[in-house]
A and B are shown apart, each in its own frame.
Chain A
Amino acid sequence: GAVVSQHPSRVICKSGTSVKIECRSLDFQATTMFWYRQFPKQSLMLMATSNEGSKATYEQGVEKDKFLINHASLTLSTLTVTSAHPEDSSFYICSATFWTSGGAKTQYFGPGTRLLVL
């Protein structure tokens, strides 16, 4: 099946620094990728839709200047958490749209990146 990777898997940083998280579709091209955030013992909340070659679409309440998204190629989207603070500590998961041979779409998810801001 389709594989989506994320890097890094874990990151610890100091408050005020910026952190970049990469999401890659390894064996398929994805014009659309999604970024989710998951708090402990909670569900995934969609943060933004990342479109290759255009600006990301952010969900209501998500600060676009705080969470910068770049989708520069058909296999890579990056999420940069700028000036991170402890409240940004979370599990960030990306997904990519995969087209099956039958013409249907399925979302495949990356393994997640755990961010801890001290």
Chain B
Amino acid sequence: GDSVTQMEGPVTLSEEAFLTINCTYTATGYPSLFWYVQYPGEGLQLLLKATKADDKGSNKGFEATYRKETTSFHLEKGSVQVSDSAVYFCALSEEETSYDKVIFGPGTSLSVIP
């Protein structure tokens, strides 16, 4: 079945450091790919998405490119801030389920220290 794998956390970075969170997926069809962010004690917020190969999603300085050849959707940010501390979830939804059902990766906790 479909699945999403993320790099193990927690990740601790200093402010203004470069961030990469790796994400790879397994899917039978042509999934849409997402990054969601969950701040402490809150629900999920859609951070960015890409719906087809080579698409780049971007938001709030974060970006990720849909790489079909490597089945990856790595999240990057050039300069992290303390306010970026949160848990980041890579996710996919499949065409065969009409893109309704979202499958999540295990999440990667990010802590940014001043």
Contacts and interface: CB of A to CB of B under 8 A. Distances in A.
Interface in B80-114: 89, 93, 98-107, 109
Interface of A: 1, 6, 32, 34, 41-44, 46, 49, 93, 95, 97, 104-112
Which label, helix, strand, loop or mixed, suits the secondary structure of the B interface? strand
B98 to A, nearest CB: 7
Interface stretch (B20-28, B41-49, B60-68, B70-78): B41-49
Which among A32, A42, A44, A109 has the greatest number of chain B C-beta atoms within 10 A? A44
Interface residues of B, number: 22
28 contacts: A1-B46, A32-B100, A34-B100, A34-B101, A34-B102, A42-B107, A43-B104, A43-B106, A43-B107, A44-B44, A44-B104, A46-B101, A46-B103, A49-B100, A97-B100, A104-B32, A106-B49, A107-B93, A107-B100, A108-B46, A109-B36, A109-B43, A109-B44, A110-B43, A111-B42, A112-B42, A112-B43, A112-B44
Which label, helix, strand, loop or mixed, suits the secondary structure of the A interface? strand
Contacts of A34: 100-102
B100 A105 contact: yes
Interface of B: 32, 36, 42-46, 49, 51, 89, 93, 98-107, 109
Contacts of B44: 44, 93, 95, 109, 112
Nearest to A109: B44
B34 to A, nearest CB: 8
Nearest to A31: B100
Contacts of B43: 6, 93, 109-112
